Amino acid sequence: MHQWIDSDHQLQQLCETLAPVAKIALDTEFIRTDTFYPKIALIQVSDGQQCWLIDVLAITQFASLKALLESPTNQLILHACAEDLEVLDYALDIRPSNIFDTQIAAGIVNLGYCMGYARLVDSLFDISLDKQATRSDWLARPLSQRQLDYAEVDVQYLHAMEEILSKALAEQQRQDWFIEETQGLFAMVDSRKDHGEYYLKLKGAWRLGVKSLTALNRLCDWREHLARSSNRPRAHIIKDSVLIELARRLPSAKEHLHGIEDWFPRSVKRHGDAVLQQIAAAATDTPVAPMPQPLPKTISALMREMRDSLTDVAQAMKIPQEFLCNKKELETILRSSMEGQCQWPERLNQGWRLAKVKPALKDVLDRTEAL
């Protein structure tokens, strides 16, 4: 059974109770459907025996919780916690540093890559969980019994998971690998705060010329500022595809803004003047660099050979191949090699990947005549 925490006094008492607890299971529930920033609604914590559900909506003072979750002496056990870290940081200014992510650990000990919580529970304990409340309205009050049960279950098995996975990491001598991947997680979460050069992420942007790309860069910056200041999703302001088309056309008058797919008259009326101002201002911006085109099809055989090499390494190491090197990293290696100077992604130049992954990929490059 869980205990409901919905006052500052109760939260203070809870944090005092949990302060000496070495390992605390943690999860959050939030909504992010119609806002730029997530709306946190609930925090679940457990000491391995008791579960507490913290009603964030009813509490105003979070200093004691911040001290507890940021304490280096309290290890937090979470599963696939990137979004949890983001929402805690934004909503409550809480930045944990001592964490054990069971999804990362499960991958490193070869139970499965990016395995969801319910699937991992099933794999380790042969227990099937009801996940139907995942997308429910966590901002509603009172929460339904199904929601309460779901929230409690999300931390119920984390301590047992951590015990099994920690033992497996020790037996396989992969604790250092786990630490390295955890640091990578923190770096990834931090990188999500920086949305500069967002235009580089837009599908099809590589087809645009420099003048259009420069305008697209400014349009993306303008939309980003508006989305954050108004707390609305980017697509609720203007979709990516509309920004691409605007950058391609480079309209100079309001009558040129109509007829763009997915850009409706109401939005044209609301944002048309601002869009034209951004496009006009982009003409005096320092031109951005051209975007590289997709790798030629002639290189696909080499890409397959590199992936086959990674498969061999993964099988030999007994670790999911996805952990070794991703598609974007392979493309970076191939593209830079085609240009005459191979550039290795940062994480392949350090830690266990330097010793295991980089040599395998380098061997493929060394014995090919394609580059």
pLDDT along the chain (371 residues), means of 10: 96 98 98 93 98 98 98 98 96 97 97 95 94 82 95 97 98 96 94 86 96 98 96 96 97 93 94 98 97 86 93 95 92 89 92 94 82 54
| Rounded distance between C-alpha atoms, residue 1 and residue 206, angstroms | 54
- pTM comes to 0.92
pLDDT at 196: 81
End-to-end CA distance of the chain: give it in Å, rounded: 62
- Sole residue written with tokens 């302001």: 237
Give alpha helix (H) positions in 97-174: 102-108, 117-125, 145-156, 158-171
Exposure string of 172-209, with b = 16+ CB inside 10 Å and e = fewer, is: bebeebbebbbeebeeebeeeeebeebbeebeebeebe
Closest CA to 117 of 299, 241, 105: 105
* Cβ contacts of 329 within 8 Å, gap of 6 or more: 345, 347, 348
Reported residue count of the chain is 371
* Cβ contacts of 314 within 8 Å, gap of 6 or more: 320, 321, 323, 324
pLDDT at 293: 87
pLDDT at 130: 81
pLDDT at 45: 98
Q: Which domains, and CATH codes, for the chain? A: 2-191 (3.30.420.10), 198-282 (1.10.150.80), 297-366 (1.10.150.80)
Task: Kindly state the DSSP code that residue 40 receives in the 8-state scheme.
Answer: E
| Rounded distance between C-alpha atoms, residue 143 and residue 94, angstroms | 25
| Rounded distance between C-alpha atoms, residue 271 and residue 280, angstroms | 14
| Rounded distance between C-alpha atoms, residue 290 and residue 292, angstroms | 6
